[in-house]
Structure 1
Amino acid sequence: MLIDQEIRPVMPYTRPRGKKEFFRKHEYVYDEYYDCYICPNNQILKYSTTNRDGYREYKSDPKICINCPDINKCTNSKNHTKVVTRHIWENYMEEVEHLRHTSINKEIYDMRKETIERVFADMKEKHGMRWTTLRGLKKVKAQAMLIAACMNLKKIANWMWRSRKNGPNPSNPCVNMHGLLSNLYSFIICSLRNTVSIKKETVFCLQTEIKTKTVQDSF
């Protein structure tokens, strides 16, 4: 969807998964023209079927694989058949991987520590998102959305305050809107603190395991 809308995707590096002693998926070369995979021993894995999850399955010839010297590095299948899957949208993921090595993506990715990571840190340290005293996905989601709304209001207020041209003039509409948004932000935070009050509750850690302790409020 990002590529179709001409939005540049900036994704992190993902380590290869699977057993270390086995061949990695990138060692099986995909031939786009013939729509097949080629194994490290130059044998062809032909297209077989497409499963319900949207993955195209490419299978090897068991008559050839049974005599392969590297079969122990390839598969543990009892019928000596190697299966490599390829999603129907894999070409988009390959384009994302290609863009990851460009200098533009590297510059944009470095901005994470100045933008996205700071937002997460503020949510955990200043708005109580490191722990939750609510039970159920619906309640926790509502709490998180309210906190996100508060942070957006605070960000808009800061932007408007910095964009003023003539200094902190009370007649400046930017300054008035800044005060309005700040008051609204404070009102929502106080409402959350007053409406959600729990004397003793199981506190769920959003990062590690479940812990139990006594709390007076949710924040």
Structure 2
Amino acid sequence: MSKNIKESTTDKESGYYHRDNKEKGFMYLDHRSVDGKHNFIVDCFITPGNVHDSVPYVSRLTYIMDKFKFDVNCVALDSGYYKKDILKFLEEKKIFSVIGYRRFHRNPDHKFFRYDSSRDCFTDTRTGEIYTYRNIDRQGYKQYRISDNSNKRILRRAIDADVYDRCRERRLSTFGKALYKRRKETIERSFADSKQNHGYRFAQYRGVAKMQQYTWLSCAAQNMKKMAILLTRDSHFFRYYFLFITLKFNIQHIFQFLKNMLDVFSVLSTI
């Protein structure tokens, strides 16, 4: 089975980006990670536009922890990272993860069925019928049916559905809501600064290697500006230093004014 892939005639290394309600075209993607306290950029990885966000995440997070020896306790991600492999990896590393809600195409009446984890069965809240576990199909889903062997509907549940349930509990918790709220104040702000001040709305070069080097330089500039702002805001030395410079400037102007007045008086006295 062959797959048709669009290829740019001017930049072969770029990828065709297409998302719902977003601009389509040949682009590059920056898979960026920032810290949740001061919004410093700790990693930026460039890929073609047709690479999904979730593909390089596990390898980049592993690189960050190995390179900088960070003790990562919690992460906040958008719905594009709502993948089983990522959820399992974060649970294995004992990292508290909050991932945005992702809407799936489901049957309208799925909300009437409640799953009981203790008995491993579904209950129809309208009729009270119980759907018990029967077998696992070839797609890897557990099948549930009514015990009277009737030809009624079959309910399916993924084998690793417990991973998604725990993810939902974390997202709806008090700490999870606060953490996800913090996400839009950090990573989204970082991308906004790059687009507004560092020419990130359009690719400045051709090729992944050149775009990666440009991204490193741009993110380094953002981090240096962030560091300067934090130092001037939190350090008393810089505060008193600027106060001293201002006072020195005013004193120089005062002495210059007095000197000019003495010169004027000396001229008048000689006349």
Q: TM-score, normalised by structure 2?
A: 0.42
Task: Determine the C-alpha separation between the residues in 1 that align with 2:179 and 2:123.
Answer: 36
Compared with structure 1, are the counterparts of its residues 60 and 92 closer, same or farther at alpha carbon in structure 2 (3 Å cutoff)?
closer
Say whether residues 1:167 and 2:254 are aligned partners.
no
Residue matched to 2:228? 157
Higher helix proportion (structure 1 or 2): 2
In the alignment, which of 64, 67, 83 is matched to residue 151 of structure 2? Answer: 67
Task: Determine the C-alpha separation between the residues in 2 that align with 1:135 and 1:86.
Answer: 44
Q: TM-score, normalised by structure 1?
A: 0.50
Task: Give the number of equivalent residue pairs.
Answer: 149
Compared with structure 1, are the counterparts of its residues 63 and 30 closer, same or farther at alpha carbon in structure 2 (3 Å cutoff)?
closer
SS of the residue corresponding to residue 99 of structure 2 reads: coil
Residue matched to 2:179? 108
One-letter amino acid matched to 1:163: D
In the alignment, which of 132, 139, 142 is matched to residue 44 of structure 1? Answer: 132
Task: Determine the C-alpha separation between the residues in 2 that align with 1:7 and 1:91.
Answer: 17
Cα distance per residue 1:50-106 (max 9 Å; x no partner): 87xxxx4213569978732xx4xxxxxxxxx6543233xx43432231122222332
Task: Determine the C-alpha separation between the residues in 2 that align with 1:64 and 1:141.
Answer: 62
CA positional deviation for 1:121: 0.8
Compared with structure 1, are the counterparts of its residues 83 and 142 closer, same or farther at alpha carbon in structure 2 (3 Å cutoff)?
farther
Cα contact 1:37–1:58 (8 A) shared by 2: no
Residue matched to 1:58? 142
Unaligned runs of 5+ in 2: 1-88, 243-271
Say whether residues 1:119 and 2:190 are aligned partners.
yes
Task: Determine the C-alpha separation between the residues in 2 that align with 1:167 and 1:135.
Answer: 42
Unaligned runs of 5+ in 1: 72-80, 171-219
Could you tell me the percent identity over the aligned residues? 23
Task: Determine the C-alpha separation between the residues in 2 that align with 1:154 and 1:123.
Answer: 12
SS of the residue corresponding to residue 211 of structure 2 reads: helix
CA positional deviation for 1:122: 0.5
SS of the residue corresponding to residue 97 of structure 2 reads: coil
In the alignment, which of 140, 155, 180 is matched to residue 211 of structure 2? Answer: 140
Larger RCO (CA within 8 A; separation ≥ 6) = 2
106-115 or 41-50, larger mean C-alpha shift: 41-50
One-letter amino acid matched to 1:125: Q
CA positional deviation for 1:113: 4.0
Cα contact 1:28–1:37 (8 A) shared by 2: no
Compared with structure 1, are the counterparts of its residues 122 and 83 closer, same or farther at alpha carbon in structure 2 (3 Å cutoff)?
same
Residue matched to 2:96? 8
Task: Determine the C-alpha separation between the residues in 2 that align with 1:162 and 1:86.
Answer: 52
Residue matched to 1:213? none
Task: Determine the C-alpha separation between the residues in 1 that align with 2:195 and 2:238.
Answer: 33
Task: Determine the C-alpha separation between the residues in 1 that align with 2:149 and 2:205.
Answer: 55
Cα distance per residue 1:9-37 (max 9 Å; x no partner): 2332222x115x5544x665445445x45
One-letter amino acid matched to 1:134: Y
One-letter amino acid matched to 1:85: A
Residue matched to 1:97? 168
Compared with structure 1, are the counterparts of its residues 84 and 120 closer, same or farther at alpha carbon in structure 2 (3 Å cutoff)?
same
SS of the residue corresponding to residue 142 of structure 2 reads: strand
Compared with structure 1, are the counterparts of its residues 160 and 99 closer, same or farther at alpha carbon in structure 2 (3 Å cutoff)?
same
